[in-house]
């Protein structure tokens, strides 16, 4: 694999540079003095920011974009061999790196490289850690999967020796990483368009854990089924966290709702005061107790002052699309959430139960036909905790409909289990439905990883 060395500046070209992750990596390298160029199908605000960093951006995927013959070309899973730039790179014998491989190469240039993995909770936990590392003045470079207000986006670049990133399992991209510390938050069935089954997923997470050096640290949720499967034979330090009822190095006690479904709790761990450190969260849901606990364990392992850690966690108010209050329309509160997996839906609805409301209406947009089909029954069950479910058209992402899935089918399954449900293919019809069926005091949550958030924004724009 082609090696990226911060001490050896080269020319790196990105195919599809305008994407959230690709643009962030390109910016990191440009700030480090590399010559960076890239292409995108359409220029806009994202590519304008790249140009402002001195990055040359081409519109369109043209073979001529590689006339300068860069030293290496970076691409994503969405790029196929018939892409003109990809084909030209092969013709010119230019080394090719997948996005995940480049991210792994970047990690090698830092003394401390932290990868936060798991089926869900990655963005929130990475955000907790971002606040902690910044408040501890470690001058970190950060790549997070959402818009984090404290860094004004999803990328933060400083000159310190600490790198923090989310580690996504899809297409096994995290197996190209070089972490010195890993967090494994949970391991559930997901991305079944790539993985064969849950055993295949578990195998990948075990291989990810085995990437750690002997002097590294693995921080893992003890409530993951057969947790020893992931840790057996590791020479690195293993630190566990988990809910009550599991043997863990870090757990919690005395959890209480403070306001709007947020919790306070006391940390129970070796070396902590006998009465526990009091943590007050400003993000809702009991699931965020575990996310915060994982971040606390990581911070302690890094030697960060616990007082700094607790203060930083209390400052975090959330990232975009994670139980984010968007506004109020005629007395109806509109919230947006990224949940697109049954367990995430259950966690979000559990948090919503403690949020003041008369009725809870969920506008759920399934994400990909494959996920909808393979987790169909689990989706229908998870949505039962709402008072009403409005199912939007399936967001296809990288797929085409060859599986016979539809919003109407999922809506019917939800209704059969006892929760009123309707389905619409057009967002405008959903907006009209909300305006005529929701009453003052109700809560509407737009939910999914696609473009369902636009419904809430359109409604609030029509006030």
The DSSP element (H or E) to which 423 belongs, if any, is strand 421-423
Residues 248 and 154 in one domain: yes
Residue 3, in any domain of the structure: no
Residues 421 and 442 in one domain: yes
Residue 60, in any domain of the structure: yes
Tokens matching residue 252: 């919690």
Residues 297 and 334 in one domain: no
In the prediction, which pLDDT does 463 show? 46
Residue 232, in any domain of the structure: yes
Last residue of a domain, one of 265, 294, 315: 315
Residue 303, in any domain of the structure: yes
In the prediction, which pLDDT does 123 show? 92
Q: Which residues are catalytic?
A: 122-123, 166
Q: What share of the chain is helix, strand, coil (3-state, %, to 5)?
A: 35, 25, 40
Residues 266 and 331 in one domain: no
Sheet holding 388-391, edge to edge: 324-329, 332-337, 443-447, 360-364, 388-391, 421-423
Give the CATH number for residue 155: 3.40.1190.10
Q: Cβ atoms within 10 A of the Cβ of 65, count?
A: 23
Residues 252 and 191 in one domain: yes
Give the CATH number for residue 91: 3.40.50.720
Residues 331 and 290 in one domain: no
In the prediction, which pLDDT does 34 show? 97
In the prediction, which pLDDT does 400 show? 81
In the prediction, which pLDDT does 198 show? 92
Give the CATH number for residue 360: 3.90.190.20
Length of the chain: 463
Residues 190 and 257 in one domain: yes
In the prediction, which pLDDT does 462 show? 62
Distances (CA, A) of 59 to 15, 16, 48, 62, 295: 11, 10, 12, 8, 40
pLDDT truncated to tens, each residue of the chain (463 aa)?
A: 789 999 999 999 999 999 888 999 999 999 999 999 999 988 998 899 999 999 999 999 999 999 999 999 999 888 999 999 999 999 999 999 999 999 999 999 999 999 999 998 999 999 999 999 999 999 999 999 888 889 988 899 999 999 999 999 988 999 999 999 999 999 998 877 778 899 999 999 999 999 999 999 999 999 999 999 999 999 999 999 999 999 999 999 999 988 778 899 999 998 888 777 899 998 988 889 999 999 999 999 999 999 999 999 999 988 778 788 899 999 999 999 989 889 889 989 988 888 889 999 999 999 999 999 989 999 999 999 999 999 999 999 878 877 889 999 999 999 999 999 999 999 999 999 999 999 999 999 999 989 999 999 999 996 4
Residue 32, in any domain of the structure: yes
Residue 102, in any domain of the structure: no
Sheet holding 11-15, edge to edge: 56-59, 35-40, 11-15, 72-75, 96-98
Residues 223 and 311 in one domain: yes
- For residue 88, give its domain range: 11-97
Last residue of a domain, one of 261, 281, 315: 315
In the prediction, which pLDDT does 397 show? 86
Residue 6, in any domain of the structure: no
Last residue of a domain, one of 97, 125, 150: 97
Residues 309 and 332 in one domain: no
In the prediction, which pLDDT does 78 show? 83
Distances (CA, A) of 319 to 257, 285, 316: 20, 14, 9
Residues 145 and 177 in one domain: yes
Residue 105, in any domain of the structure: no
- Count of structural domains, the chain: 3
In the prediction, which pLDDT does 4 show? 96
* R_g over Cα of the chain: 22
Distance of alpha carbon 215 from alpha carbon 302, whole angstroms: 12
Residues 247 and 338 in one domain: no
Residues 89 and 196 in one domain: no
Q: Which residue, 1, 249, 212, is CA-closest to 101?
A: 1
């Amino acid at each position: 694999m082609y090696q990226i060395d911060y001490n050896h500046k080269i020319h790196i070209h990105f195919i599809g540079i305008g994407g959230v992750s690709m643009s962030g990596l390109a910016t990191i390298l440009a700030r480090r003095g590399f010559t960076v160029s890239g292409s995108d199908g359409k220029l806009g605000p994202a590519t304008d920011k790249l140009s402002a960093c001195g990055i040359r951006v081409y519109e369109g995927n043209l073979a001529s974009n590689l006339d300068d013959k860069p030293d290496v070309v970076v691409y994503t899973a969405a790029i196929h061999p018939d892409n003109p730039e990809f084909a030209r790179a092969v013709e010119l014998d230019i080394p090719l790196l997948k996005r995940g491989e480049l991210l792994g190469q970047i990690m090698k240039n830092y003394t401390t490289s932290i990868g936060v993995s798991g089926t869900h909770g990655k963005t929130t936990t990475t955000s907790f850690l971002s606040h902690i590392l910044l408040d501890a003045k470690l001058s970190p470079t950060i790549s997070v999967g959402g818009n984090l207000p404290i860094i004004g986006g999803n990328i933060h670049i400083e000159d310190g020796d600490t790198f923090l990133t989310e580690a996504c399992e899809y297409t096994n991209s995290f197996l190209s990483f070089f972490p010195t510390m890993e967090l494994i938050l949970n391991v559930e069935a997901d991305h079944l368009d790539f993985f064969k089954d849950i055993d295949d997923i578990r195998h990948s997470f075990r291989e990810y854990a085995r990437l750690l050096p002997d002097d590294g640290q693995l921080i893992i949720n003890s409530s993951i089924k057969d947790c020893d499967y992931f840790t057996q034979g590791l020479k690195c330090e293993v630190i566990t966290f988990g809910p009550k009822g599991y043997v863990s190095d870090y757990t919690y006690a005395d959890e209480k709702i403070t306001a709007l479904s947020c919790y306070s709790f006391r940390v129970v761990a070796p070396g902590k005061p006998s009465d526990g450190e009091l943590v007050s969260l400003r993000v809702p849901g009991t699931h965020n107790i575990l996310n915060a606990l994982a971040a606390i364990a990581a911070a302690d392992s890094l030697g960060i002052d616990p007082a700094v850690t607790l203060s930083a966690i209390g400052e975090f108010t959330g990232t975009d699309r994670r139980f984010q209050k968007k506004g109020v329309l005629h007395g109806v509160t509109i919230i947006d959430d990224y949940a697109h997996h049954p367990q995430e839906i259950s966690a979000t609805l559990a948090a919503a139960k403690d949020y003041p409301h008369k009725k809870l209406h969920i506008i759920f947009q399934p994400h990909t036909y494959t996920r909808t089909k393979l987790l169909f029954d689990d989706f229908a069950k998870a949505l039962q905790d709402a008072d009403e479910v409005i199912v939007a058209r399936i967001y296809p992402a990288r797929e085409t409909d060859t599986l016979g899935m539809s919003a109407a089918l999922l809506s019917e399954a939800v209704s059969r289990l006892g929760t009123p449900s309707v389905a619409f293919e057009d967002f405008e019809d959903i907006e009209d439905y909300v305006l005529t069926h929701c009453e003052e005091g109700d809560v509407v949550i737009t939910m999914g990883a696609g473009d369902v958030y636009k419904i809430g924004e359109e409604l609030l724009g029509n006030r």
